Amino acid sequence: MTLLMFLVFLITEVGFAVYSAGIPAKNERCKRRLIVSGAELIIFLIMLLLPHIDLSFRFAGFALLLVIRLIAAAISYALNRKNDRKTSVFSSAAGAAGNIIMMAFSLIPAFLINDYQGRPVTGEHQIAQANAILIDRTRTEQFEDDGSFREVPVHFFYPADVSDADNSLPLVIFSHGAFGWYQSNTSTYMELASHGYVVVSLDHPYHSMYTKDSTGKTITVDPGFFRTALSLGSSDEDSTDRFETTQAWMELREADMTFALDTLKKTASEHSFDDSWCFADSEPDTIKAATDMIDTGKIGLMGHSLGGATAVSVGRRSDISAVIDLDGSMIGEETAVENGNFVTDDTPYPTPLLNIDHESHHNERIQARESGYPYSNNIILDNAVDGHDTYFKNTEHMNFTDLPLFAPALAKNLGTGSADPADCIDRVNALVLDFFDSYLKDGGDFSADESY
């Protein structure tokens, strides 16, 4: 649909350039440009009735461009109404070319990002959402030099039609991957919430692609973290440097998740907010409804990639009942470097754990085991009291998020396999639900196939 829109406006601009070539007078050409600019805006408004075209951020830049061009055309016409000076055919062609280029650039978000409306849920509950920011007054923000406190945005997904669920629903906390964001697995949150879970997805500011702080300021990913995260696997730094880098990441993320977890438990138990909470005036009632539902004796953690590693490390807490790692290397379990190899905590992992890998990751783990390389995931699963392990065929790292459905071009660059993205995430979500049902809702024994 985006391509159709671009073609319509391409034809309009080319047609105007050809038509204007026979109208050399400046005033007449400006008049025609004003008419065409108005017509283009009207065409866009009509096309809003078509599916997959809207006024969201995907088309916001294009709509703004059309409005600006209409205003500019009106001003130009007003200034040149009596100017009958001749203009060249070249200027008309150059103007059309410039307009086409600007239109193409403004439509880049629409070409790159799909009109993704989520996946169908299988549960019976309607879903509500709410947002807040938790302010950790025991930590200063390491990415700023103004002495401000560390903030952790929290995003709730919970049943909207449950009125008698006082402290009776399991809580699942999700951590996104490196330069991800809280919506990376929205289909997963929605599926869980539809089955009676309270899901809280965290943002890790400066590790997240973007989020907002308590003042409304947009916080984008830290460039240093972004560069290091992209290059770490292929960099020349030695094991000690790599260990120090990743442990600093994990310390920050584990502290974020621990703080959010403790605050949520306290709020659910006391049914009141302390000064850690910051939210819009319209949010307290909805957030209270969500936190009042939480059963603090049934808590699950999960995450993707670096978020999965975070969930695993925090999951050693005695108050955690289940943990899921979506394709993450469990680097938070590494404790030291000896002779160039990473030393992993080999004490029994106490919490039921489900590890889900993409196919290449699974093969690398097998190779590590065969070669005797002490890979953290193998060590943790081998020593888990109740560990489960599986992988999805024909997948890559981003197949365990919604990104391939939301922004397929970006997801492909970051790693997607040949598996159908919608079918893959639906199967992942079904497995996640089955695991949490087993350990958080007494849903019976859990087992996973070797692969899917």
Residue 284 has pLDDT above 90, yes or no: no
What three-state secondary structure class fits 241?
A: helix
pLDDT of 86: 67
pLDDT bin (cut points 50, 70, 90) of residue 113 is confident
User: How do residues 9-54 score in pLDDT, each as one tens digit?
Assistant: 888 888 777 776 666 677 777 887 888 888 889 988 888 888 778 8
pLDDT of 439: 98
Residue 305 and residue 403 in contact, taking contact as beta carbons nearer than 8 Å: no
What's the burial of 379, exposed, middle or buried (CB within 10 Å: 0-12/13-18/19+)? buried
What's the burial of 41, exposed, middle or buried (CB within 10 Å: 0-12/13-18/19+)? middle
Q: State the residue for tokens 């319509």.
A: 8
CA 426 to CA 416: how far, in whole Å? 15
Six-digit token string for 395: 């997948």
User: How do residues 72-98 score in pLDDT, each as one tens digit?
Assistant: 888 888 887 777 666 666 666 777 788
pLDDT of 415: 93
pLDDT bin (cut points 50, 70, 90) of residue 4 is confident
pLDDT of 100: 85
**Nearest CA among 294, 290, 354, 350 for reference residue 320:** 350
Give the pLDDT mean for 305-311: 98
User: How do residues 235-254 score in pLDDT, each as one tens digit?
Assistant: 566 888 899 999 999 999 99
Give the pLDDT mean for 275-293: 90
Q: What are the structural domains of the chain?
A: 2-112 (no CATH), 127-440 (3.40.50.1820)
User: How do residues 138-189 score in pLDDT, each as one tens digit?
Assistant: 999 999 999 999 999 999 999 999 876 677 999 999 999 999 999 999 999 9
The chain-wide mean pLDDT, for the chain, equals 91
pLDDT of 291: 95
Tell me what percent of the residues of the chain surpass a pLDDT of 70. 95
pLDDT of 177: 96
| Percentages of the chain per state (helix, strand, coil), in multiples of 5 | 50, 20, 30
Residue 353 has pLDDT above 80, yes or no: yes
Q: What is the pTM of this model?
A: 0.86
Give the pLDDT mean for 321-334: 97
Give CB contacts under 8 A, 24+ apart, made by 224-233.
225/178, 225/179, 225/249, 226/179, 229/178, 229/179, 229/306
pLDDT of 137: 97
H/E stretch holding 134: strand 127-140
User: How do residues 195-213 score in pLDDT, each as one tens digit?
Assistant: 999 999 999 999 999 999 9
In 261-416, DSSP assigns E strands to 277-278, 294-304, 322-326, 334-338, 341-344, 353-358, 387-392
CA 327 to CA 203: how far, in whole Å? 19
User: How do residues 386-443 score in pLDDT, each as one tens digit?
Assistant: 999 999 999 999 999 999 999 998 899 899 999 999 999 999 999 999 999 999 998 8
What three-state secondary structure class fits 190?
A: helix
H/E stretch holding 331: none
Residue 313 has pLDDT above 70, yes or no: yes
Q: State the residue for tokens 């294009």.
A: 62
305 φψ region: left (φ > 0), alpha (ψ -120 to 50), beta (else):
left
pLDDT of 390: 98
What's the burial of 238, exposed, middle or buried (CB within 10 Å: 0-12/13-18/19+)? exposed
